[in-house]
Chain A
Amino acid sequence: AQTVTQSQPEMSVQEAETVTLSCTYDTSESDYYLFWYKQPPSRQMILVIRQEAYKQQNATENRFSVNFQKAAKSFSLKISDSQLGDAAMYFCTSQGGSEKLVFGKGTKLTVNP
């Protein structure tokens, strides 16, 4: 069974600074994908970034990038130049052969002005 662990229940960052959210996962699937979703106070689940496990290159989407360490089963999210609108719950998820997303418990990110 797939498991996803987010060890930081809460994080805070100053506006314009950089923050890294941690995530470790475990899966027996050989072909899987990893995602970070963001859930702002509106409760909408918004895709932030996606990483294919077969790709060695780390995914990047504007100010968001990941550090994917496959051997260590680690998938951290780096947010650069943090903005007030980045404040949200961030969920790390994995998706493998069973096709269902397995979610971590989330990290609440606060951005201080």
Chain B
Amino acid sequence: DSGVTQTPKHLITATGQRVTLRCSPRSGDLSVYWYQQSLDQGLQFLIQYYNGEERAKGNILERFSAQQFPDLHSELNLSSLELGDSALYFCASSGAGGSTDTQYFGPGTRLTVL
């Protein structure tokens, strides 16, 4: 158990809908990262937050947004969902969010868009 929690574990929804994925980092970790794992694209970094502020952006679509709240939990919002958004979404956390920090992954949320 990495100490990172993600809810829900599974999510099934329809095209055009909007969903919210939630992540709670390990106790004491200030940085949260979101990754998408799909069959055709592999594992891709989406976005990083550090202590409530966006720190780095990766291959995140404009239909997707994220935020980190004062209690350090984070939410990833996916809107206008398409079939291709079906994937496993991971959240990871690290301490100070620096380039030397090891990231610990949550169990993931499997999103299926029908």
Contacts and interface: CB of A to CB of B under 8 A. Distances in A.
How many chain B residues sit at the interface, stated as a range, is 20 to 34
B108 A43 contact: yes
Interface string A14-49: 000000000000000101110101000011111100
Given A43-B108, A45-B105, A106 B100 contact: no
A27 to B, nearest CB: 11
A33 B94 CA distance: 14
Contacts of B103: 95, 101
B90 A99 contact: no
Interface residues of A, number: 26
Contacts, number: 60
A78 interface: no
Given A35-B102, A44-B108, A100 B42 contact: no
Nearest to A42: B107
28 contacts: A33-B102, A37-B105, A42-B107, A43-B88, A43-B110, A44-B2, A44-B107, A45-B90, A45-B105, A47-B102, A47-B104, A47-B105, A52-B100, A96-B99, A99-B56, A99-B97, A99-B98, A99-B99, A100-B33, A100-B45, A100-B56, A101-B33, A101-B43, A101-B45, A101-B103, A103-B42, A103-B43, A105-B42
